Every structure is written in structure tokens, then in C-alpha cells.
Structure 1
């Protein structure tokens, strides 16, 4: 690990970004250009103290998950991401057969502009790669490496986000989506490993897998149960990212509906909660 070069690279990449580039408000006038250290820490889910030590060439080696989070927060290109990994003494991720866990800076910019609609970038096999603030307000913040399909079948709390009568259909859709992805990319270790683990850990998933249903995630109407604003019936648009094995998922409510009013309330309440917690 080259701490000195890593520190310099992080400082320079941070200085080239404006808060608006990453979906943050500028706030009070800034004495120096770029993001503040605490803002980078917020975007990556690490402590400000740890990030500061990285920029001061005093930090311990970041994990691979944290390096990926830094690459997204600093809007690094794939070449810059690989450079970041090399400086930290790690081999960069090698994507296989079109499955990429790196989100392009341009796509992250689109995500940040969707300030009034919950949106997130995911791999087609369920890895949450990036969220906007509204997605966090709706469903909670995803820790690095979180896979929504894995959690749906292994963590009962995940299902509380949906009405009880909808949960069986969500399970079937998740299994059918994984079946389609695995058939398209049988050598991709990500979805193959997820299927193997779920077959071992979840009898429900194993039973659904035996049915051999296949479905690619597409646009739909989804219902969410939020603890503050209540039931939200939202239009879910799924936009594929060509050649990346990724999708941009955007939820919206039709104007004039009760869900539209509740989504507006969620923006106020949810973003206030984020401000307080951070």
C-alpha cells in the first residue's frame, strides 16, 4: 500500500467535485473548492476520522468494499478506480461476462438529479451499488455489498417493507430473475455464488428454484409499507444499463394520488431524518 500516493490521489479527486455533483447542497460558503472530508465519509459510510487519516497517509488499508464505495463517492472512472485499488495494494475488480459492480460517473449524476423519486443502481442479480437520498428514506441505507435477494430470503425484517399479501410474489420474482441471469452468464461468479448459498440456506428459495420460472426484472407497480408515511403504491421503472449487467430502478407516484402526497411527505420527513442522523 502506497499511503502517500493514495492520500494525494484522494485529496485531488475530492477537490475536483462540487456538492451538486454528488447530490448534496452547498450550504455555507466554502473556503476551498471540492467536497469536505466529512461529505466523502458520509457518501462512503465510513467515519470522518478514518477518511481523514487516509488523506493524511496514516490510515490502515481500506477493504475492497470500502475502495469500491470510495470509487463511487468520488465519481471515479474505471481507470481511476483501478488506480485507487493499486495504490491500496489490491487487485482491481475484474468483471466477467458483462457483470460490472462499478457505476459510471454519468449514471451516478443521473441518480443524483432524481431528487424527488426513490432511485438506485443495482446489478441485475440484486447487488445495491448506489442509492439516492429518497431511496434511503424509503427503504433504508444499503451497506456496501448488500444484496436485496439474499436479504429477502435470509432476513425476515426485509419483508416488512412490503404488505403481507405481496411477499410471496416478490419471492417468486426474485428467484425467477436469478434464474434468468444465471442462464445468461453461467460463468459469472456473483450470481452463481448467490444461488448456491440460497439453495443451502433457504428452503423457500430451493422450492421456488425447482419450479424453474424465468423472468427478467421489468417495470411494475409495487407497494411499500413505510413506518411513518404508511402505504405507498408506486410505479417502478427498471432501466437496463447496456453491457454492464446493471439496472437503474426508479420509483414514482402518479400526480393527484394519495401515494403522490405521501411520497412528497417522505421527502420532507426522510431527508430531515438523514440530516439529523448525519
Structure 2
């Protein structure tokens, strides 16, 4: 990954803000997309030289007041602003948070009670650490349900499973970007970014855009080969006793076709499990 994540993030956000959005009158041909460095400096009340040093990585310790001003100038949302603060090391980071942490037996037991909603646990690098039975069934088209980014970008099933593939791809990369703010030198994060950059030009493009967004509440449209299209919403909850982990729950509108499809998927899974157990039992007789 680049040596100055702070500078790279500022550049990527500057490119996303148009002069009109910032209230700047623009004349003639512009050689950059978005704002110029000197325009950001003026909007934030900084010297052009100081802002240039921030982008170039020669200044790595801006104050909270400077970050507040840059957040306003670059029109950052809450996730992006927190990411900026983490990159500047003004928010404590959790060490080792992207390792493949264990999920507590209590949480696993809770997930198993969700028999009509897929539930799974992610870490900051979007490794899937645990699934309940319905989530396993939902992700069954994939070769391995081990990491959301691999599933989206390198598994052949991804293109057909996600009805809005580009939206899903952009969202997963934007979520992974948050991990950089917690620990840019994390070995797991570096390995994953390098792996996906080599395997997928689309991942490289989205990664270079520098979008940042956390998982909270959103809608997804998925296509499962056994039950067809599923229009679902999801919510993500922080696991308080394991910082960096999130419990993600998918659900359908009660009584909707997607709700019926989820119930059918659960029924098919239960039937297959029963047939497998019967086969295993008969083979031992």
C-alpha cells in the first residue's frame, strides 16, 4: 500500500468535490478533476504550502482543528471524517483487529436462533468468521464463503449472485478502506489488498478511488440459483466484546416474495441436512 495513506486519501476526496459543490467559480480549462490544492487550502483556511505538504506526506501530524477544516472543505461524511482522523492518528487504533478472531460460543448460539434470517460475523478485512445455517445456504453458490471481497471480485459466482454487482463491489471496497485507518500496516490487510489488486483490475480501480463507507443499514438484491431473486435489507452491529467484529443480519420484508424465498431456502437446507444425516446413518449400519 502507498506510504502516505493520509495524503492519498486527501487527494482522492479532493478529486470528488466539484468547484460548483464547493461554491467556487471556475473559469477556463481545468487540468484536474475536482478541486485544486490551492482551492482546498483556501476553503480550509490553510496555506497552500502546508496543504501540499499534507498531500505529499511531508506533514503527517495535522491538528484536530486542521482536520475539522479539511472535513468541511472536502464535504466528508461521518465515516470519511472518522477515517481521516484515524489516518492522522488522532483516534486510538485497535492492534491486530483484522486477524481471524474467534467468535464466542454465546454469539454462535444466538446466531443459531435466527432460523429465518441469514446471520454472519465479519472482521475489518471482511473475512467471514462464522455463519448460521441460513447464511451458509445463502452463500452456497460460492466456492468458499471466506471473505466478502474474494466472493465479489474473484469467485465466478459473484457476477451472477449480486444483481447490482458494481454497487456491491464499490461498497465492499469502501468498507475495507476503513481498516486502513485502524492499522495501515496490518499484515492481513496488506496481503489481501495485494492479492486482489493482482487478481482484479476492477478491485484496483475501486481501491484507487479511495471511497470510505462503513456497514450500517442498506438494501441488497441477490440472485440465488435455488430460490431466485432476493430483495433484502441488512443491518450490522458491533460486537462489543471483540472490537473490530460485526454481526451482519439479512432480512426480507415480512410476507414478501423474498420472505417466502428465504423460508424456501431454509426448508431446502433442512431437507438436505436430513437426507445427509440419513445417508450417513445408513452407511454405518
| Secondary structure in structure 2 of the residue aligned to 1:152 | helix
> In 2, distance between residues paired with 1:137 and 1:162?
15
Whether contact under 8 Å (2:235, 2:248) holds in the other structure is yes
Cα distance between partner residues in 2 of 1:195 and 1:132:
27
Match of 1:204 in 2: 202
* Residue correspondence of structure 1 range 96-107 to structure 2 within 5 A: 96-100=95-99, 101-107=101-107
Preserved contact between residue 221 and residue 236 of structure 1 (Cα < 8 Å): yes
Q: Which protein has the larger Cα radius of gyration, Structure 1 or Structure 2?
A: 2
Provide the rounded CA distance (Å) in 2 between the counterparts of 1:152 and 1:261. Answer: 25
The TM-score normalised by the length of structure 1 is: 0.60
What secondary structure does 1:216 align onto? coil
State the 1:200 CA deviation: 2.1
Query: Could you tell me which residue of structure 2 aligns to residue 108 of structure 1?
Result: 108
What is the distance in 2 between the residues matched to 1:228 and 1:158? 15
Instruction: Name the CA distance, whole Å, in 1 between partners of 2:123 and 2:131.
Output: 12
Cα pair 2:119 2:135 within 8 Å, conserved: yes
Query: SS of the counterpart of 2:215?
Result: coil
Q: 1:144 to 1:107 in 2, by over 3 A?
A: farther
Q: Any gaps of 5 or more consecutive residues in structure 1?
A: 1-94
TM-score (norm 2): 0.59
Task: Name the SS for the 1:125 alignment partner.
Answer: coil
Instruction: Tell me the equivalent position of 1:157.
Output: 157
SS at match of 1:256: coil
Q: CA deviation at 1:192?
A: 2.1
1:119 aligns with 2:119: yes
Flag the 1:123–1:277 CA change in 2: closer, same or farther, 3 A. farther
Alignment partner, residue 230 of structure 2: 232
C-alpha RMSD over aligned residues:
2.2
Q: Which residue of 1 aligns with 2:212?
A: 214
Question: Equivalent residues in 2 for 1:25-44 (5 A)?
Answer: none
Q: 1:193 & 1:148 partners in 2: Cα distance?
A: 15
**Are the structure 2 counterparts of residues 148 and 276 from structure 1 closer, same or farther at C-alpha, using a change threshold of 3 Å?**
farther
Aligned equivalent of 1:139: 139
Give unpaired runs (5+ residues) of structure 2: 1-93, 278-285
- For residues 218 and 248 of structure 1, what CA distance do their matches in structure 2 show? 10
1:231–1:141: structure 2 CA closer, same or farther, 3 Å change rule?
Answer: closer
Q: Which residue of 2 aligns with 1:178?
A: 176
- Relative to structure 1, the CA distance from residue 108 to residue 266 in structure 2 (aligned partners, 3 Å threshold; closer, same or farther) is same
Counterpart for residue 44 of structure 2: none
1:145 deviates by 8.3
1:39-95 Cα deviation digits (max 9, x unpaired): xxxxxxxxxxxxxxxxxxxxxxxxxxxxxxxxxxxxxxxxxxxxxxxxxxxxxxxx9
1:51-130 aligned at under 5 Å gives the runs 96-100=95-99, 101-130=101-130
Quickly say closer, same or farther: Cα 1:159–1:144, change in 2 above 3 A. closer
CA contact (8 A) 1:138 1:270 kept: no
> How many angstroms does 1:231 deviate by?
0.8
Q: Shift in Å at residue 139 of structure 1?
A: 1.5
For the Cα contact (< 8 Å) 1:116–1:134, is it kept in 2? yes
User: Any conservation in 2 of the 1:99–1:244 contact (CA below 8 Å)?
Assistant: no
Output the CA distance in 1 between the equivalents of 2:272 and 2:175: 33
